[in-house]
């Protein structure tokens, strides 16, 4: 369990980091751009997401004593890729959702065509940030950029979404359910945690640390998704700021629709336990994990 001092340190860290992240995102899609697609991208990006992925990236960077400024473009790029994925996921051709981050979804507020373009613009903007950093930085920046592209692409998030669409029923194997969510939700969380390591370390360096971070990120991706499924089954749309209960109504495979609520809760606790084990092993190597432990706990106890 984290001490209350760690909780308030984390809250302050999140406040400061979110300010910096939001400042950079505001500059990328600034309000002076009058084009409707830029306005729609900004509408979704500045709509009050929790900024979990960039904060995880910055905290892991601090743990490894990386220079924060050189990681900022990657942190913001991942948030832009995440936001594009939510816009596209909400489209009528995918989940057909009307509420996101407490507001009408991008295609409801604008139009389907504009929402599609807004997602594309966010994705391109993300790679602009990454490539700018690559052009002025070390080989580590290139390694980090390639890592993000792989995690966001067909071997990662897009691949998971594709598998999910192809498996539109609750009669699937456990292996396939885990595979979908390791990629669809897990890959970007994994990238957020691994980017500082990949940025700093050559292949083959600090294998023990890499394995511990991979274990932490893998289990956190799954615990985050199972928690999302539990909240979807037990909360209201007002609490969550997005439509809830739709997965069950649509016959989608989630941890709750496949295993039932109680078993999903058990699976959640099993994944959560492994996140703390991985963080313990990093602490045993001498790393200061206090804020990452506090954030992990906050994610596991979240109400939205
Ligand atoms: C369309 C290529 C493409 C991919 C979509 C990530 C994804 C793949 C779809 C999102 C579906 C979904 C709601 C999954 C549950 C877990 C999840 C990613 C929740 C949203 O992330 P939060 O809670 O959201 O970090 P905020 O709004 O706080 O950023």
Per-residue pLDDT tens listing for the chain (304 residues): 456 677 799 999 999 999 999 999 999 988 788 899 999 999 999 978 899 999 999 999 999 999 999 999 999 999 999 999 999 999 999 999 999 988 999 999 999 999 999 999 999 999 999 999 999 878 999 999 999 999 999 999 999 999 999 886 777 899 999 999 999 999 999 999 999 999 999 999 999 999 999 999 999 999 999 999 999 988 776 776 767 677 777 778 899 999 999 999 999 999 999 999 999 999 999 999 999 999 999 999 998 7
Range of the domain at 76: 4-300
Q: Give nearest CA residue, ligand 1 atom 10.
A: 86
Cβ atoms < 10 Å from Cβ of 2: 16
pLDDT of residue 2: 56
- Looking at the structure of the chain, the number of domains it has is 1
C-alpha 208 to ligand 1 mean position (Å) = 30
Q: Is the CB of 228 within 6 Å of ligand 1?
A: yes
C-alpha 64 to ligand 1 mean position (Å) = 27
C-alpha 20 to ligand 1 mean position (Å) = 22
Q: Is the CB of 95 within 6 Å of ligand 1?
A: no
Q: Is the CB of 243 within 6 Å of ligand 1?
A: no
Q: Is the CB of 105 within 6 Å of ligand 1?
A: no
Is the CB of residue 70 less than 8 Å from the CB of residue 61? no
The domain that contains 41 carries what CATH number? 1.10.600.10
298: enclosing H helix or E strand:
helix 290-300
Q: Give nearest CA residue, ligand 1 atom 5.
A: 85
pLDDT of residue 112: 98
Phi/psi of residue 103, nearest 5 degrees: -135, 165
Ligand 1, atom nearest to 50 Cα: 28
C-alpha 281 to ligand 1 mean position (Å) = 29
- The answer to pTM > 0.85 is yes
Residues 6+ apart with CB under 8 A from 219: 271, 272, 274, 275, 278
- Could you tell me whether strands 99-100 and 103-104 are parallel, antiparallel, or unpaired per DSSP bridges? antiparallel
Q: Is the CB of 225 within 6 Å of ligand 1?
A: yes
Q: Is the CB of 192 within 6 Å of ligand 1?
A: no
Give 157's strand partners.
none
Q: Give nearest CA residue, ligand 1 atom 19.
A: 228
- The SS3 assignment for 283 reads helix
Ligand 1, atom nearest to 224 Cα: 16
- The distance between the two most distant Cα atoms of the chain, rounded to a whole number of Å, is 52
pLDDT of residue 137: 73
C-alpha 157 to ligand 1 mean position (Å) = 10
- The SS3 assignment for 47 reads coil
Ligand 1, atom nearest to 52 Cα: 25
Q: How far is CA 80 from CA 4, 15, 51, 233, 283, in A?
A: 32, 19, 10, 27, 31
């Amino acid at each position: 369990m984290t001490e209350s001092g760690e909780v308030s340190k984390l809250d302050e860290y999140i406040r400061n980091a979110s300010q910096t992240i939001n400042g950079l995102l505001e500059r990328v899609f600034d309000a002076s751009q009058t084009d409707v697609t830029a306005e729609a991208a900004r509408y979704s990006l500045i709509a009050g997401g929790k900024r979990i992925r960039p904060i995880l990236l910055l905290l892991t960077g601090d743990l490894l004593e990386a220079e924060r400024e050189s990681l900022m473009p990657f942190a913001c790029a991942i948030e832009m890729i995440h936001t594009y994925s939510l816009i596209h996921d909400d489209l009528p051709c995918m989940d057909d959702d009307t509420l996101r981050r407490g507001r009408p979804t991008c295609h409801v507020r604008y139009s389907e065509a504009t929402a599609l373009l807004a997602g594309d613009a966010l994705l391109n903007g993300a790679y602009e940030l990454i490539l700018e950093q690559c052009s002025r930085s070390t080989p580590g920046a290139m390694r980090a950029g390639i890592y993000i592209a792989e995690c966001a692409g067909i071997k990662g998030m897009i691949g998971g979404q594709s598998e999910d669409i192809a498996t539109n029923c609750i009669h699937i194997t456990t292996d396939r359910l885990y595979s979908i969510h390791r990629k669809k939700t897990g890959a970007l969380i994994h990238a957020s945690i691994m980017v500082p390591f990949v940025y700093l370390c050559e292949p083959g360096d600090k294998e023990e640390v890499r394995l511990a971070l991979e274990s932490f990120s893998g289990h956190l991706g799954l615990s985050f998704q199972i928690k999302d499924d539990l909240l979807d089954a037990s909360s209201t749309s007002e609490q969550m700021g997005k439509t809830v209960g739709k997965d069950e109504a649509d016959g989608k495979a989630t941890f709750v629709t496949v295993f039932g609520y109680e078993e999903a809760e058990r699976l959640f606790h099993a994944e959560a336990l492994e996140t703390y084990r991985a963080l313990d092993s990093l602490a045993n190597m001498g790393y200061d994990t206090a804020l990452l432990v506090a954030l992990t706990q906050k994610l596991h106890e979240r109400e939205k």
